[in-house]
Structure 1
Amino acid sequence: MANTIDETKIKTDLYDAVNGDWLKTAVIPADHSTTGGFTDLADNIEKTLMSDFDDLRSGKLQPTNPEQTEFKKFYTLTTDFAKREKDGSAPLKPFIDRINGLNNYQDLSDQLADWILTGLPTPFSFDIDSDMKNSTTYALFASGPSLFLPDKTYYAEGNQAAAQLMPIFTNMMTQLFKLAGYTEDDAKTIIDQAEQFDRLIAPNVKSAEEGADYSKMYNPRSLDDIAGSTDKLDLKAAITALIQGTPEVIITPEPAYFDALNQLLTDANFPLLKSWLLVKTVSGLSSYLTEDFRQTSTIFGRALSGRKEARSQEKAAYDLATGVFDQVVGDYYGRKYFGEAAKKDVHDMVVKMVNVYKKRLANNTWLGKATRDKAVLKLDKLGIQVGYPDAITPLYSKFKVTTAEDGGSLLSNVMAFTRIRNEDEFSKWNQPVDRTRWEMSANTVNAYFHPFHNIIVFPAAILQAPFYSLKQSSSENFGGIGAVIAHEISHAFDNNGSLFDEYGNLNNWWTEADNAHFKDLAQNMIDEFDGLPFAGQKVNGKLTVSENIADGGGLSCALEAAKGEPDVDLKAFFINWAAIWRSKATKEREQLLLSIDVHSPAKLRANVQAQNLDDFFNTFDITEGDAMYKAPADRVKIW
């Protein structure tokens, strides 16, 4: 690979030198907002699975387990476009009627637990995750709802993006309500009231930047405190019914929202809330209805991301089916296209990266011994999940499809499964945490670290070229999947992950001096990225700090591992590092991500982190005066 790159161009711009020829000719598909390394892999997997599942539907391929049998029935339902046209808006009607039947808060309060289990919207959200102070047990979390616009910052006075986007949202919703049988005047009244309520919510929820700081997530409140947040709804009765118990503590990542709830849920605001519930429901369920509904429901999302077209009917049906049966699909993909041999090979690579990290910690010059020892212990306890889970989660055995012949519609099945999923989720409260549970399906091109569980997960889909291949040299693999693996390990020691101990408990295991030093180093990473120009806007260093720390630590660790191999080739290492970030996106998507994404833009991830490593300058003979040069004092080094 190294021989195909004009290395003199690397002195000016690593990312452009590696990806420039591709960028000149790459075309973003009309139904995409981006194309590139990650997207290409996802598209290829989609093509493969759509072909396989066409064979499954036609009978050429036989299901290998009961869950696949139900998936086949459901996929048949999502692709029965004639049935969806015939049903029209009828499957939506029971849910609209249920909201229209609310005359006051008491009507909602009387059915609140069932309402939540059904999957209908509420002006708050409850979910289950590990107790941040006792990671062996599941706890109840309470947060604010999502907004119509991507982030609360869009609601600030004078925000230009909101001025462009809100009319598009309003127009889309007007069309959807008309398709659902409303007059234009009635639709406009409902949408206007809903947007008023949404604007009342916005100041009280967290922005993406605020939400990215895990140190402010743990705000325990008693059941009585949460219940006392509003006198209009009996939250105590709803919560105890949902979890079949009485929680001593509810974790509240957005305490300011519950402080404001009483002022939101007033008698004067009831019509606004009711309209907000209608808008949320109609927008949320339209993709399961006719083609007109589905196409119309994508208008706002396409404007946000710059996609020119909606997905085709066939691809959208695939999305719906695989989204509902995600772990069943992942199990099929992992077993057929990844296999045990690759699973073991990559697991060994992860262990190797963990050992490199341990060695680096042992030689760390700025951590005290007590903190270093705890960091190594955290690595010793790190859970590693590679490829696909050993078994399909039992939840999916409960999904039984009601076919069209038996009177089932696509939406009725989706809502039945939603209820099963919600009941299963709330039943976990106060139960032991399952650290082996996967939160991503094996056919997902991604990876993650879960700080509450102290586990890293690498789905099968990302474990292919250019990230990883037996045909690539060890240096290429370390510049690809090695850096990704070490990135996820580094999350255990970023500004958020470092707050959690080896068991995933929120627990300060740092000495005061080490913690102060780490905060200074993290601030260096914030400063390095903050304000960098991109897509006509600027990078938010605080929003992206955790991912930037993980990128820096990951690349540095992967570099050390590559240097330990007999066939080391640092040019190939850095070139493949830049290649995996190859990406072309619409300006709308780039600007959206700058507002809400905790990751920096791909080009900056490739270039800036390479500039933090001394070996990068030595490898390509980059000196003062070259555009890629960065003075040693300005190179940010944490891990």
Structure 2
Amino acid sequence: MKLKLGLPLIGLALLAACQNKNTETDTRTVFLDKAGMDTTVNPGDNFFEYANGKWMKATVIPDDQSGWGSFYTLYEDNLKKLKGIVEDAEKANAPKGSIKQKVGDYYASGMDTVTIEKLGAEPLKPVLAKIDGAKSYKELVSLLAELAKTNEAGLLGMGVGADEKNSVKNIVSFYQSGLSLPEKDYYFKTDSTSKVAREGFVTYATKLFSLTGADAATAAKNANAILALETEIAKSHRSPEELRDPQKNYNKMSVAQLSQLAPNLDVPSLFTAMQIKTDSVNVGQPAYFKALSTLLASQPIEVWKTKFKYDYMARNAGLLSKAFVDASFNYNKIFNGQKKQSERWKKLVNGIDANMGDLLGQLYVEKYFTQEAKQRMDELVNNLQKVFATRISKLDWMSAETKAKATEKLNVFLKKIGYTTKWKNFDDVTINKGDYLGNARSARMHAYNEEISKIGKPVDKTEWGMTPPTVNAYYNPTFNEIVFPAGILQFPFFDAKADDAINYGAIGAVIGHEMTHGFDDQGRQYDATGNMKDWWTKADADQFKTRADKVAKLYSSFTLLGNEHVNGNLTLGENLADIGGLAIAYDAFKLTKQGQDNSQKIDGFTPDQRFFLSFAQVWRIKDRDENMRVRIKTDPHSPEMFRVNGPVYNMEAFYKAFNIPKTAKMYVAPENRLGVW
């Protein structure tokens, strides 16, 4: 389980004035976008609007994006850098098997649309024929094992990682899967959004079957049969909110017990075919596997064949001819609201990063990541860690016993900044210029083999869960680590030339956010060694829950898109991290020279004002309504306005910085302010 900073499906907005550079030195000179602020709004009424209002009104989301804002612009800038790298690799005529050959030829294979169009649906047909040839669900289970190796088994969620109750050893875990819509409620709710989603799914599935040779009537029949089957599967699924409970989703059992739970999966044979050698597994959601076993035997074999075919086709639609790509886009725009497809090169660069991230990452950090950035980040992280320890020591609701254990956990955080110290090997990946789908499947097979090779072995804490160019960050409770890839260590999050107020308000709050994840409603259930273990006294745990419940209640009161409420329980961990992270970052900022002298203004703002404005403009994001509706149902992160307003209105320093009167709309009396850490 990784707790990430979280992007709204990736994307960002151009901060016009913030992007001003001295053209002679290429050094940024302005770090706040004053033109994008709406100073007609009282900062005490809506700070997000005050900091970003004019920008929000003026910004038009690009047609190929689901949103726009800070993350998006940085993400797009990174893509351009990566494009240059892969194009150079493509032209290099590098030796077979080298990093540049694999990166360059993968890119070339995906850009060769002439060959891809000529092939059409042909690359799918060998596997589709195998599915057609199955005469029983037992034969389909054998195919399930084969497809799992290339991540094309839609019914089998699987991963290998640290055992949450024995964090030094890896275990294979299985998770609920089998659904094509974002989460279970889409199959049962009768609102217009859910109905449109179901209709869109049927249209998409019908199109895929038509493209692979089915007549119109058969294609439509198949699509409706899959929807009916997935509706049955959905009954066994846990909700996004339920999936946040680490204890409930840890169910370690023997292979024999899994066989008893899901007899029709024939687990011993399945594991043999999947090359899984183990005596125990973690089954995240047992009800799903029990239901899957029952449905395998009770549903007609022909229905299961259509489901297997659909999963295989949908997994690969983006790698095929234009007709498949268009069908996939038309379906997904129901959920993200995009009006047109991204340029093809962007998809290719993303694919290389996803499939061979350490190869591309080596080329990326060599060219773009500086030691100056690494050193400044080390300093920031260490400062925030010290401040967090001080805050823990001063908590008035926690006992000395629990404080000691919390401080121990904080002090042994593993800190990863920039990129891995141990690059992964991709020698078993074969890349050929004329085989785009084959290249992707080879890379997926590599990922699978890498995963199963770890089962039962000691955990390697040098591993990273994100690639170097990624614009994100995360906390991993079983490693007790905070991780900041090189991709996020750029403006507007970080600039080595910026004043401390800017950096502490932006990347400082991100660092504090990830640190706080170690002590949010999920992270607090893991000890200093990464084991899921209760290290709290009962009284302290009760005090934490009382405070956390108030945070959940506050965020559940926030509404948007008419009157849709934020789910305060689903977003609780991220909200706690936002509130705690900003408070920690502010305390650390006050230790700097600039933070200690609040009289020196820059661009008309005091250091404290710059700190809070930097924080607010980092979360400057505008979403399409379609995208936001999915986020509210499935995303553990609150919408950006509330990621800004929730934390600031619970901080006395904010009220002082902007001289907020008690009559302000969002003023919270000191006795009612929320905060755990």
The match for 1:85 is 117
3-state DSSP of counterpart to 1:232? helix
Of 15, 19, 40, the match for 2:73: 40
Instruction: Report the alpha carbon displacement of residue 40 of structure 1 after superposing the two structures with TM.
Output: 0.7
Task: Tell me if 1:116 matches 2:148.
Answer: yes
Percent of aligned pairs with the same residue?
A: 30
**Pairing of 1:177-576 with structure 2 (within 5 A):** 177-247=209-279, 249-394=280-425, 396-404=426-434, 409-536=435-562, 537-568=564-595, 569-576=607-614
What amino acid is the match of 2:45? T
Structure-1 separation of matches of 2:649 and 2:329: 40
The match for 1:66 is 98
Instruction: Report the alpha carbon displacement of residue 63 of structure 1 after superposing the two structures with TM.
Output: 8.9
The match for 2:82 is 49
Of 84, 95, 100, the match for 2:132: 100
Structure 1 residues 571 and 64, CA, compared in 2 at 3 Å: closer, same or farther?
farther
Aligned length: 632
Mind listing any 5+ residue stretches in structure 2 that lack a counterpart? 1-30, 596-606
Instruction: Report the alpha carbon displacement of residue 479 of structure 1 after superposing the two structures with TM.
Output: 0.6
TM-score (norm 2): 0.90
Instruction: Report the alpha carbon displacement of residue 245 of structure 1 after superposing the two structures with TM.
Output: 2.2
Structure-2 separation of matches of 1:349 and 1:64: 42
- Cα shift readout 1:567-604 (whole Å, capped 9, x = no counterpart): 12111111111000001111111111000000000011
Structure-1 separation of matches of 2:611 and 2:544: 28
What amino acid is the match of 1:143? Y
- Cα shift readout 1:360-385 (whole Å, capped 9, x = no counterpart): 11222211111111111111221111
Mind listing any 5+ residue stretches in structure 1 that lack a counterpart? none
- Cα shift readout 1:68-102 (whole Å, capped 9, x = no counterpart): 32111111111111111111111111121121111
| Conservation of the 8 A alpha-carbon contact between 1:346 and 1:386 | yes
The match for 1:584 is 622
3-state DSSP of counterpart to 1:627? coil
3-state DSSP of counterpart to 1:68? helix
Structure-1 separation of matches of 2:648 and 2:340: 36
- Cα shift readout 1:22-70 (whole Å, capped 9, x = no counterpart): 11221211110100001110011112221332233233x9799922321
What amino acid is the match of 1:432? P
The match for 1:593 is 631
Structure-1 separation of matches of 2:632 and 2:647: 18
The match for 2:656 is 618
| Conservation of the 8 A alpha-carbon contact between 1:229 and 1:258 | yes
What amino acid is the match of 1:313? R
What amino acid is the match of 1:601? P
| Conservation of the 8 A alpha-carbon contact between 2:356 and 2:443 | no
RMSD of aligned Cα (Å): 1.9
Structure-1 separation of matches of 2:65 and 2:359: 25
Structure-1 separation of matches of 2:150 and 2:587: 51
Structure 1 residues 521 and 246, CA, compared in 2 at 3 Å: closer, same or farther?
same
Structure-2 separation of matches of 1:306 and 1:111: 35
Identify the range of structure 1 (224-233 vs 447-456) with the bigger mean alpha-carbon deviation.
Answer: 224-233
More helix by share: 1
3-state DSSP of counterpart to 1:208? coil
- Stretches of 4+ aligned residues off by more than 4 angstroms: 61-65
- Cα shift readout 1:426-451 (whole Å, capped 9, x = no counterpart): 11100111111111111111000001
What amino acid is the match of 2:295? L
What amino acid is the match of 2:642? L
Instruction: Report the alpha carbon displacement of residue 277 of structure 1 after superposing the two structures with TM.
Output: 1.1
- Cα shift readout 1:258-299 (whole Å, capped 9, x = no counterpart): 332343222434332221111111111111111221122111
What amino acid is the match of 1:11? G
Of 45, 58, 65, the match for 1:25: 58
- Cα shift readout 1:506-535 (whole Å, capped 9, x = no counterpart): 011111111111111110110110131112
Structure-1 separation of matches of 2:524 and 2:671: 25
Structure-2 separation of matches of 1:99 and 1:551: 48
3-state DSSP of counterpart to 2:496? coil
What amino acid is the match of 2:319? Y
What amino acid is the match of 1:24? K
TM-score (norm 1): 0.95
Structure 1 residues 367 and 64, CA, compared in 2 at 3 Å: closer, same or farther?
farther
Structure-1 separation of matches of 2:125 and 2:143: 18
What amino acid is the match of 1:374? K
Structure 1 residues 3 and 491, CA, compared in 2 at 3 Å: closer, same or farther?
closer
What amino acid is the match of 2:470? T
3-state DSSP of counterpart to 1:127? strand
